[in-house]
Structure 1
């Protein structure tokens, strides 16, 4: 596996051809860059979302030229604080061009979910997201192993079929 960090990880979103799909399977992420914004949310205070702008720009760049960025979040119900916050932040991602869906964990029965989040690029390569024990995002570990790619493609299809589009999910 090859590890992509920093700008090299960001370049993955500038160089894919057609599709980038992200599967998130954790209920909580304790990344340092999100700790203060999450705290503001929990205290009911405003956030300028400056910490999120670089991601939104990557999504806008990709989607403005016809490439697709999609995300499915498998979540436990009732929602933990991180998920409730994520539901509000998702609005920014969607405005930038990302398609986000939500799958309650109890509706994922029968899907062989991996223990780790991954990005599936162009149905040809998988990049697993890597975090330090402290929660700090490290980057992505890439593989093109056909068995792993096929498993992730299958999980993507199953999850996407069952997942609820963001607008419909927040309406319920």
Structure 2
């Protein structure tokens, strides 16, 4: 594994061949981009979600080109404040073509899951996302090691089988 820069990661998010899958396992994150919008939501202030439009435009492009983008979120219930907010802003991404699904953590007790969230691009390249205890990102590493790829693919597909599509998930 080697570290990957934010610019390299952004390139992967926009330039994969046919499939990007993403497994999220944490109840809270704290990205610099998201925190101000989550704070507005917590204060009951409106958010036009304009800040999501760049990602949604990217998603529309992927779908138009025949590429697949899937995200599975393993969540504790009742949902954390972060996950309640995340649920509240997911619909534009779903409308843009990202298949987002939710799985209650209690359902994945017997699923082998990597120690870090990850993206898997085209079944060939895994990017592990590293976080501090408070949810702030601390870095990313990339690998094409076949054992890592198999672990990620197997974990994602096992979780996916248990996951509930966004339109059907009712947060607790």
**TM-score, length of structure 1 as denominator length:** 0.90
Residue 135 of structure 1 and its aligned partner are, at CA, apart by 4.6
Residue 25 of structure 1 and its aligned partner are, at CA, apart by 0.2
Aligned length: 172
109-118 or 6-15: which moved more? Answer: 6-15
Q: Is the 8 A contact 1:87 1:170 kept in 2?
A: no
Q: Does 1:38 align with 2:75?
A: no
Write out per-residue CA displacement over residues 121-142 of structure 1, whole angstroms, 9 at most, x where no aligned residue.
1111111123467754455321
Moved over 6 A (4+): none
What pairs up with 1:117-156 in 2 under 5 angstroms? Answer: 117-131=117-131, 135-137=135-137, 140-156=140-156
54-63 or 40-49: which moved more? Answer: 54-63
**Runs of 5+ consecutive residues of structure 2 not aligned to the other structure:** none
What pairs up with 1:1-172 in 2 under 5 angstroms? Answer: 1-131=1-131, 135-137=135-137, 140-170=140-170
SS in 2 for 1:97: coil
Residue 5 of structure 1 and its aligned partner are, at CA, apart by 2.5
Q: CA RMSD in A?
A: 2.0
**What is the alpha-carbon distance in structure 2 between the residues aligned to residue 13 and residue 32 of structure 1?**
18
**What is the alpha-carbon distance in structure 2 between the residues aligned to residue 2 and residue 159 of structure 1?**
26
Change (3 A) 1:133 1:169: closer
**Runs of 5+ consecutive residues of structure 1 not aligned to the other structure:** none
Residue 56 of structure 1 and its aligned partner are, at CA, apart by 2.0
72-81 or 57-66: which moved more? Answer: 57-66
Q: Is the 8 A contact 1:111 1:158 kept in 2?
A: yes
**What is the alpha-carbon distance in structure 1 between the residues aligned to residue 16 and residue 72 of structure 2?**
19
**What is the alpha-carbon distance in structure 2 between the residues aligned to residue 17 and residue 114 of structure 1?**
24
